[in-house]
Amino acid sequence: MFNRSIKLTLALTLGAIALPSFAALNILACEPEWGALAQELGGDKVSVYNATTAFQDPHHVQAKPSLLARARNADLVICTGSQLEIGWLPILQQQAGNPKIQTGQPGNFEASRFVRMLEIPGSVDRSLGDVHPGGNPHIQTDPRNIGLVAEALAKRLAEIDPANVAHYQSSYKAFAERWKAAVSNWEKQAAPLRGMNIVVHHKAFAYLENWLGLQEVAALEPKPGVEPTSAHLAEVLAQLQRQPAKTVIRAAYSDGRGSDWLAERAGIPAIVLPFTVGGSERAKDLFGLFDDTIQKLLSALK
Amino acid sequence: MKMLSIPLLAALLTLPAGASAADDADLRALRDEVARMRETYEARIDALEKRLLDAEAKSASAAAVATQAGTMAAAPPAAPSGANAFNPNVSLILSGQYGNLSRDPAGYRITGFHLPGGPLGDITPQRGFSLAESELAISANVDTLFYGAAHFAIHPDNTLSTEEAFVQTTALPSGLTLKAGRYFSGIGYLNEQHAHAWDFVDAPLAYQAFLGGQFNNDGLQLRWLAPTDTFLEIGAELGRGANYPGTGRNKNGSGASALYAHLGGDVGDSHSWRAGLSLLTTSPQDRQWDDIDTAGAGVSNRFSGSSRLWIADGVWKWAPRGNANSTNFKLQGEYLRRIEDGNLTYDTQAASLGTATGSYAARQSGWYLQGIYQFTPYWRVGLRSERLSNGSVDYGANNARLLRPDYAPQRNALMFDYNPSEFSRIRLQLAQDKSREGITDNQIFLQYQMSLGAHGAHKF
């Protein structure tokens, strides 16, 4: 009787703590774009948890207890890499007691390994701000990169979960077709943007600029990762007198004060781009992310 | 290339044929020569063709990759090569401070709490300029099974100590991690954090009184993370227990054990929390300290027995939508209670009323509560309030010889810090320290802490 009540208590306690689902492949995505991509490719075969939201700066996230718990149960972590998550992912790897997600294991997927990196610094020194030796990590702002990562991720999913190879292959094929059509559609829509001068808050849009032919004339952060100072903002404003820009853009998680200040004085719109899935009302999935990004950029031309 | 080469060879062949004046022998020699040349050229042409095909294949695949990537530039950079590529992560913490104390710290003691000379020296505040602890940290994966790290503290008096030097598993399944070596024990919340990650210049009074600031141990640590979506971690340690509250010992087996459980999670996007309960058990042998007895004389006493320290800890962090860049708040508190039983030998040097051994039973406790608010990027303000309780202390046969002050040491501190980046911090701390009975020490500290080298990842 005593034994039974202990068992019951234990069962209730564990039940209250909520056990994760064991049926599907557990995926911990460091950023929402990779979570969304894993969901596109995995469908009901995967259970995805996003470590961050569009309103959090993926550079500065803490190794929270909730993330440790998710890392413990993950079959696969999908991160950008290129040191974007260096402040917190190593702690998850060290403390989660999960051999699958260690660096070099199939359960550790670094998206930036599958695309061509931009802005690889010739030399690295902390006086240059938050520079990444492997190149600018914000690769998701170019949908062609998403396409490349999708291909690699589909292969990885098949490797980790061989029972569902056919599923991953067919869903990749379907996604790749839809994505290709969507990219060419976005490129058509975005044709008027080619050559448009923009100011950015953080140097987070190198891949978007490269894709659409946008010209970044200035950044509000004096050095990457350093919040805008009033002196630097004044310099940017003076620069815009000589070299006008159409808009000042920032990611959903960036503080708006700097770009609002500049927008008002330079008489240009400040645009908040979703930056990742969930960053705006329309950016509900990867397709919505770029639909909204292009529409918002086009609004600067009006 | 083949199209060009054939007419060339044809020309070579037809030219000598046109020299009809030459005799047969010459002609034969010439033909042989040409045949040899043709063989040589054909071999070279074959080789060239092969190289061309290879090159075409390579450039085609490169072009395919580049087209896929959407641009026509170089392939991804190769990983660094050479022996240096395996160098571990190295980081150095530089720290210094200026202390202005209204009262002389000489003979500093937390009233009612018996700290041995070593730890007491570590927690005694310093006046004037001083270099604080510099810390050199080296870490890397050892291989596919282990991770290793060492943290050396270089003290202002030019001594060096090993704060941590451990190896830990990365390949154990089921949420298990085993650590061996010297490490900061996982008890409480603050104990595992290095001094440069603290929010105040000094450790809380309760940590100073019960752990000598921070407890590290040589031994084994096993942690298990439960397979639940809510964070639940259980840890157990066995070790030498050479540091206060334990003592060095010459014995087989373990001199210190620790058990702890931590529970944590998120509430919405903006809140996260962790709470824990820990027990540290040590068995000090001849733990010695200096004290003043009832006759007002300086005496040296020692204690042997068992020491059990309970810690309840909690931390709650808030950041709007989980984005801590602009504003965030952290509330953190710990309650420590120590139970010590055993024998106390009074006046070991027979300097006052004569050496005497009696029983010792003490139940003492302390807590701190602190809040840190980042009100704008880079700037934080924090408040810490703390108090110790002498609880019940029974010296048995020595009750008449030793003082049992009914005094509750306390301290309040206010700090401001400026953090221009993740790697630098400048801090001002104002404190009113009443840890000594009858003495109110108003303290001003100015401190810098900077880190260079590998980007550190900090615990929650």
User: Do residues A208 and A65 share a domain?
Assistant: no
* Dist CA A75 CA A26 (whole Å): 5
User: Do residues B62 and B211 share a domain?
Assistant: no
Length of chain A: 302
Q: Tell me if A220 is assigned to some domain.
A: yes
At B31, the pLDDT band (50, 70, 90 cuts) reads confident
The pLDDT of B99-117, averaged and rounded, is: 94
The domain boundary residue, chosen from B14, B35, B68: B68
User: Do residues B212 and B153 share a domain?
Assistant: yes
* Dist CA A40 CA A17 (whole Å): 29
At A181, the pLDDT band (50, 70, 90 cuts) reads very high
User: Do residues A173 and A109 share a domain?
Assistant: yes
The domain boundary residue, chosen from A185, A211, A244: A185
Q: Considering only A80-94, A273-287, B65-79, which range has the smallest mean pLDDT?
A: B65-79
User: Do residues A142 and A167 share a domain?
Assistant: yes
Q: Tell me if B379 is assigned to some domain.
A: yes
The pLDDT of A3-21, averaged and rounded, is: 51
A66 contacts in chain B (CB < 8 Å): 229-231, 264-266, 272
User: Do residues B29 and B117 share a domain?
Assistant: no
B284 has pLDDT over 70 = yes
* Dist CA B422 CA B93 (whole Å): 12
A126 contacts in chain B (CB < 8 Å): 421, 423, 452
* Dist CA B266 CA B442 (whole Å): 39
**What is the pLDDT, as a whole number, of residue B36?**
73
User: Do residues A175 and A199 share a domain?
Assistant: no
**What is the pLDDT, as a whole number, of residue A22?**
54
User: Do residues B184 and B48 share a domain?
Assistant: no
Give the model confidence (pLDDT) of B53-92 as tens digits.
Answer: 566 555 544 444 444 444 433 345 455 556 777 889 999 9
> Do the chains contact at B229 and A20, CB–CB below 8 Å?
yes
Which chain B residue is nearest to residue A112, measuring alpha carbons? Answer: B76
Look at chain A and report how many structural domains it folds into. 2
Distance from the Cα of A157 to chain B's closest Cα (Å) equals 21
Structure tokens at A232: 């630097």
Give the model confidence (pLDDT) of B217-239 as tens digits.
Answer: 999 999 999 999 999 999 999 99
User: Do residues A115 and A238 share a domain?
Assistant: no
User: Do residues B155 and B32 share a domain?
Assistant: no
Which chain B residue is nearest to residue A122, measuring alpha carbons? Answer: B77
**What is the pLDDT, as a whole number, of residue B65?**
41
User: Do residues A129 and A217 share a domain?
Assistant: no
Q: Tell me if A219 is assigned to some domain.
A: yes
Distance from the Cα of A299 to chain B's closest Cα (Å) equals 25
User: Do residues B306 and B187 share a domain?
Assistant: yes
B21 has pLDDT over 90 = no
Q: Which of B177, B230, B452 has its CB closest to that of A17?
A: B230
Question: Would you report the helix, strand and coil content of chain A in percent, each value rounded to 5?
Answer: 50, 10, 40
Distance from the Cα of A69 to chain B's closest Cα (Å) equals 5
B68 contacts in chain A (CB < 8 Å): 144, 147-148
Answer yes or no: pTM beyond 0.90.
no
Opening angle at CA B75, ends B70 and B78, nearest 5: 150
- Parent domain of A295: 190-299
Closest Cα partner for A253 from A85, A57, A61?
A: A57
At B19, the pLDDT band (50, 70, 90 cuts) reads very low
* Dist CA B329 CA B380 (whole Å): 9
Q: What is the ipTM of this complex?
A: 0.88
Look at chain B and report how many structural domains it folds into. 2
Kindly report the CATH number assigned to the domain that includes residue B148.
Answer: 2.40.160.10
User: Do residues A173 and A197 share a domain?
Assistant: no
> Do the chains contact at A87 and B225, CB–CB below 8 Å?
no
Kindly report the CATH number assigned to the domain that includes residue A255.
Answer: 3.40.50.1980
The domain boundary residue, chosen from A145, A160, A185: A185
> Do the chains contact at B225 and A72, CB–CB below 8 Å?
yes
A96 contacts in chain B (CB < 8 Å): 175, 225
A280 contacts in chain B (CB < 8 Å): none
* Dist CA A228 CA A203 (whole Å): 12
Q: Tell me if A7 is assigned to some domain.
A: no
State the average pLDDT for chain A.
92
* Dist CA B408 CA B435 (whole Å): 8
| C-alpha distances in Å from residue B365, one per residue of A24, A71, B361, B404, B443 | 48, 36, 13, 15, 24
Burial B294-314 (b: 16+ CB within 10 A, else e): eeeeebbbbbbbebebbbbbb
At B9, the pLDDT band (50, 70, 90 cuts) reads very low
User: Do residues A169 and A212 share a domain?
Assistant: no
> Do the chains contact at A116 and B75, CB–CB below 8 Å?
yes
The pLDDT of A144-170, averaged and rounded, is: 97
The pLDDT > 90 percentage for chain A reads: 86
Chain B interface, mutation test: which of A22, A66, A118, A127, most B Cβ atoms within 10 Å?
A66
The domain boundary residue, chosen from B68, B83, B104: B68
Distance from the Cα of B321 to chain A's closest Cα (Å) equals 7
Closest Cα partner for A297 from A207, A181, A192, A216?
A: A192
The domain boundary residue, chosen from A185, A209, A225: A185
Q: Tell me if A2 is assigned to some domain.
A: no
User: Do residues B248 and B332 share a domain?
Assistant: yes
B188 has pLDDT over 60 = yes
User: Do residues A202 and A174 share a domain?
Assistant: no
User: Do residues B46 and B147 share a domain?
Assistant: no
User: Do residues A82 and A180 share a domain?
Assistant: yes
The domain boundary residue, chosen from B33, B68, B103: B68
Residues in contact with B24: Cβ distance below 8 Å, sequence separation at least 6, in sequence order: none
User: Do residues A180 and A212 share a domain?
Assistant: no
B12 has pLDDT over 70 = no
Give the model confidence (pLDDT) of B319-367 as tens digits.
Answer: 999 999 999 999 999 999 999 999 999 999 999 999 999 999 999 999 9
Distance from the Cα of A227 to chain B's closest Cα (Å) equals 8
B426 and B415 Cβ atoms separated by less than 8 Å: no
Chain B interface, mutation test: which of A10, A62, A91, most B Cβ atoms within 10 Å?
A62
Give the model confidence (pLDDT) of B111-154 as tens digits.
Answer: 999 999 999 998 999 999 999 889 999 999 999 999 999 999 99
Q: Tell me if A33 is assigned to some domain.
A: yes
**What is the pLDDT, as a whole number, of residue B459?**
86
B3 has pLDDT over 90 = no
Q: Number of CB pairs < 8 Å for A and B?
A: 170
**What is the pLDDT, as a whole number, of residue B16?**
41
User: Do residues B184 and B45 share a domain?
Assistant: no
> Do the chains contact at A72 and B273, CB–CB below 8 Å?
no
> Do the chains contact at A98 and B175, CB–CB below 8 Å?
yes
User: Do residues B108 and B62 share a domain?
Assistant: no
User: Do residues A196 and A94 share a domain?
Assistant: no
- Parent domain of B49: 2-68
Q: Tell me if B88 is assigned to some domain.
A: no
Structure tokens at B8: 């060339």
At B23, the pLDDT band (50, 70, 90 cuts) reads low
**What is the pLDDT, as a whole number, of residue A178?**
97
Which chain B residue is nearest to residue A62, measuring alpha carbons? Answer: B460
Q: Tell me if A5 is assigned to some domain.
A: no
Angle at which helix A143-160 crosses helix A32-42, to 10 degrees, equals: 60
Q: Tell me if B87 is assigned to some domain.
A: no
Q: What is the largest CA-CA distance in chain B?
A: 138
Q: Tell me if A256 is assigned to some domain.
A: yes
Distance from the Cα of A242 to chain B's closest Cα (Å) equals 31
User: Do residues B13 and B112 share a domain?
Assistant: no
User: Do residues B62 and B142 share a domain?
Assistant: no
Q: Tell me if B349 is assigned to some domain.
A: yes
